[in-house]
Amino acid sequence: MTSSNAQWVKQALIELFVKRDLSAIDRYWAAPYLQHNPSLPDGVELLRDIVAGLQPDFSYEPGMVVAQGDMVMVHGRYSGWRPKPVVAVDIFLVKDGRMVEHWDVLQEEVPSYITKSQRPMFGLPQWTQESTK
């Protein structure tokens, strides 16, 4: 169930934020939908409003997905949401085939040439990149 939850949540995010398909909310999110981001209210109506108001330059890129049981974490990049791209970890609790709760951690993206390690904040793990060379 863990890997299917991971694939399922990633697909939900792609349908909503990449394809901007508002009907994805009815397929993947539950009511009530509990929000743990301190600046967002509970409920799926906020998702409808957010997606409907996205600017043409907005983009979402899902990255690594980690799941353990009913918990799924997606490392992603949001561009056009704020003045600078934001790298996020969105955490979802999945119950009965629906996302019922959400937490997130957001951080403004810093270009790799500025970081002390010279590594990007977003992308595949380093060992994965090295093993594909």
Question: What is residue 110's predicted lDDT score, i.e. its pLDDT?
Answer: 86
Domain boundaries, the chain: 2-122
Q: What's the gap between Cα 78 and its chain centre? A: 8
Q: What is the pLDDT along the chain (133 residues), one digit of tens a residue?
A: 567 999 999 999 999 999 999 999 999 999 999 999 999 999 999 999 999 999 999 999 999 999 999 999 999 999 998 899 999 999 999 999 999 999 999 999 988 888 888 887 788 676 655 555 5
Q: Which amino acid is at 7?
A: Q
Please enumerate in sequence order all residues whose Cβ is within 8 A of that of 119, keeping only pairs 6 or more positions apart, or say none: 112, 126
pTM of model > 0.95: no
2-122, CATH topology level: Nuclear Transport Factor 2; Chain: A, (3.10.450)
